[in-house]
A = this chain, B = another copy of it.
């Protein structure tokens, strides 16, 4: 059985890990290992540690704030996640929801929940259904928002 690592933060304002576990449980991927760290810049080393400790993939859940410094932190964390993947040869699916992506707290919570669930399905596909991803190539998928769809020629 494959094991999915989940890393989330105390900084985040929504329990995205719960949404991920709900979704993966429905898909019968039952084995998780979850770690919580203070902020998004603490995620990369935790994710790497999970991947080296037996997880096949990690889902990284963060909710950066709306200020320029928050954007910079998210950028640094993203680079760290890419390095961690290259050092372990495994995927880390980044699910970041920026505080300024929605108009109010209710919409932001919905966005966070939906994006987390849709990316949980991506984790499932990467592990068990690579052909499903191949069929979706170039179709303009958007996690947590309406899909853009393929270009109309």
| Residues of chain A whose beta carbon lies under 8 Å from any beta carbon of chain B | 8-18, 34-38, 41-42, 44-46, 48-49, 52, 69, 71-73, 75-87, 89-91, 93-94, 98, 105-106, 108-110, 112, 119, 122, 126, 130, 133-134, 136-143, 148-153
Q: With A105-B152, A134-B36, A139-B10 as known contacts, state yes or no: A52 contacts B89, CB within 8 Å.
A: yes
Chain B residues lying within 8 Å of A72, measured Cβ to Cβ, are 71, 75, 78
Chain B residues lying within 8 Å of A106, measured Cβ to Cβ, are 151-153
Chain B residues lying within 8 Å of A91, measured Cβ to Cβ, are 37, 42, 45-46
A13 near B89: Cβ-Cβ < 8 Å: no
Q: With A86-B87, A109-B151 as known contacts, state yes or no: A12 contacts B42, CB within 8 Å.
A: no
- What is the copy number of this chain in the assembly? 5
A78 near B76: Cβ-Cβ < 8 Å: yes
A69 near B86: Cβ-Cβ < 8 Å: no
Q: How far is the CA of A48 from the CA of B83 in the complex (A)?
A: 12
A151 near B11: Cβ-Cβ < 8 Å: no
If A42-B93, A83-B86 are given as contacts, then 14 extra A-B residue pairs at C-beta distance below 8 Å, sorted by A number, are A8-B138, A13-B149, A13-B150, A35-B130, A36-B136, A37-B126, A38-B122, A41-B81, A41-B94, A44-B86, A45-B91, A48-B89, A69-B98, A86-B87
